[in-house]
Protein backbone atom coordinates (compact mmCIF):
# COMPACT_ATOMS: atom_id res chain seq x y z
CA UNK A 1 0.00 0.00 0.00
CA UNK A 2 1.30 3.44 -0.89
CA UNK A 3 1.16 6.14 1.78
CA UNK A 4 -0.45 9.47 1.03
CA UNK A 5 1.52 12.11 2.95
CA UNK A 6 -0.08 15.43 3.73
CA UNK A 7 3.38 16.72 4.65
CA UNK A 8 6.77 15.43 5.69
CA UNK A 9 8.89 18.42 6.68
CA UNK A 10 12.10 18.77 8.61
CA UNK A 11 12.32 22.01 10.57
CA UNK A 12 14.78 23.63 12.95
CA UNK A 13 13.37 24.16 16.44
CA UNK A 14 14.51 25.63 19.71
CA UNK A 15 13.75 23.48 22.72
CA UNK A 16 13.91 24.68 26.31
CA UNK A 17 13.75 22.22 29.20
CA UNK A 18 12.39 23.68 32.44
CA UNK A 19 11.82 22.09 35.83
CA UNK A 20 10.42 24.07 38.76
CA UNK A 21 8.60 23.53 42.03
CA UNK A 22 5.25 25.15 42.63
CA UNK A 23 3.42 25.25 45.95
CA UNK A 24 2.22 21.64 45.65
CA UNK A 25 3.70 20.18 42.50
CA UNK A 26 6.87 19.83 40.48
CA UNK A 27 6.66 20.75 36.79
CA UNK A 28 8.93 19.24 34.13
CA UNK A 29 8.38 20.88 30.77
CA UNK A 30 9.86 20.80 27.30
CA UNK A 31 9.00 23.98 25.41
CA UNK A 32 9.51 23.98 21.65
CA UNK A 33 9.51 27.01 19.40
CA UNK A 34 9.11 26.61 15.66
CA UNK A 35 7.81 28.54 12.70
CA UNK A 36 5.16 25.86 12.22
CA UNK A 37 2.95 27.02 15.09
CA UNK A 38 2.40 30.65 13.97
CA UNK A 39 4.12 32.18 17.02
CA UNK A 40 2.71 29.72 19.54
CA UNK A 41 4.77 27.27 21.59
CA UNK A 42 4.51 23.50 21.84
CA UNK A 43 4.54 22.85 25.60
CA UNK A 44 5.08 19.24 26.72
CA UNK A 45 4.41 18.19 30.30
CA UNK A 46 6.91 15.35 30.61
CA UNK A 47 5.54 14.02 33.93
CA UNK A 48 1.99 13.51 32.68
CA UNK A 49 2.72 12.92 28.97
CA UNK A 50 0.46 15.74 27.82
CA UNK A 51 1.11 18.57 25.40
CA UNK A 52 -0.53 21.58 23.79
CA UNK A 53 0.27 24.32 21.31
CA UNK A 54 -0.15 27.47 23.36
CA UNK A 55 -0.26 31.21 22.91
CA UNK A 56 -1.44 33.95 25.24
CA UNK A 57 -4.98 33.59 23.87
CA UNK A 58 -5.04 29.97 25.05
CA UNK A 59 -3.84 30.96 28.51
CA UNK A 60 -6.72 33.44 28.74
CA UNK A 61 -9.30 30.75 27.95
CA UNK A 62 -11.03 29.72 31.23
CA UNK A 63 -10.43 26.06 32.11
CA UNK A 64 -8.22 25.38 29.09
CA UNK A 65 -4.98 24.60 30.94
CA UNK A 66 -6.90 22.48 33.46
CA UNK A 67 -8.43 20.42 30.64
CA UNK A 68 -5.39 20.07 28.39
CA UNK A 69 -2.94 19.12 31.13
CA UNK A 70 -5.51 17.35 33.34
CA UNK A 71 -4.52 19.38 36.39
CA UNK A 72 -6.59 20.69 39.30
CA UNK A 73 -7.22 24.46 39.29
CA UNK A 74 -4.41 25.30 41.77
CA UNK A 75 -1.76 23.44 39.75
CA UNK A 76 -3.09 24.76 36.45
CA UNK A 77 -2.85 28.31 37.80
CA UNK A 78 0.82 27.80 38.74
CA UNK A 79 1.53 26.48 35.28
CA UNK A 80 -0.47 29.30 33.67
CA UNK A 81 1.47 31.94 35.64
CA UNK A 82 4.80 30.50 34.48
CA UNK A 83 3.63 30.29 30.87
CA UNK A 84 2.40 33.91 30.97
CA UNK A 85 5.95 34.92 31.97
CA UNK A 86 7.36 32.88 29.11
CA UNK A 87 4.87 33.81 26.40
CA UNK A 88 4.31 37.36 27.58
How many structural domains compose the chain?
Answer: 1
Question: Exposed (0-12), middle (13-18) or buried (19+): which is 71, by Cβ within 10 Å?
Answer: buried
Mean pLDDT (10-residue bins), the chain, 88 residues:
93 95 94 93 97 96 97 96 91
Assigned domain for 38 exists: yes
**Which pLDDT score is estimated for 64?**
97
Whether the pTM exceeds 0.85: the reply is yes
Q: Is residue 8 part of a domain?
A: no
Residue 47 lies in a domain: yes
Contacts of 64 (CB under 8 A, 6+ apart): 58
Q: How far is CA 67 from the centre of its chain?
A: 12
The reported pLDDT for the residue numbered 1 is 87
Asked if residue 2 is part of any domain, the answer here is no
pLDDT at 71: 95
Domain enclosing residue 24, as ranges = 14-87
Q: Helices marked H in 1-88 — which ranges?
A: 56-60, 64-69, 73-87
Amino acid sequence: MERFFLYDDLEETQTRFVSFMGENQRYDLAIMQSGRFYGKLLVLDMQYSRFAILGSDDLDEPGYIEAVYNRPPEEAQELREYLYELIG
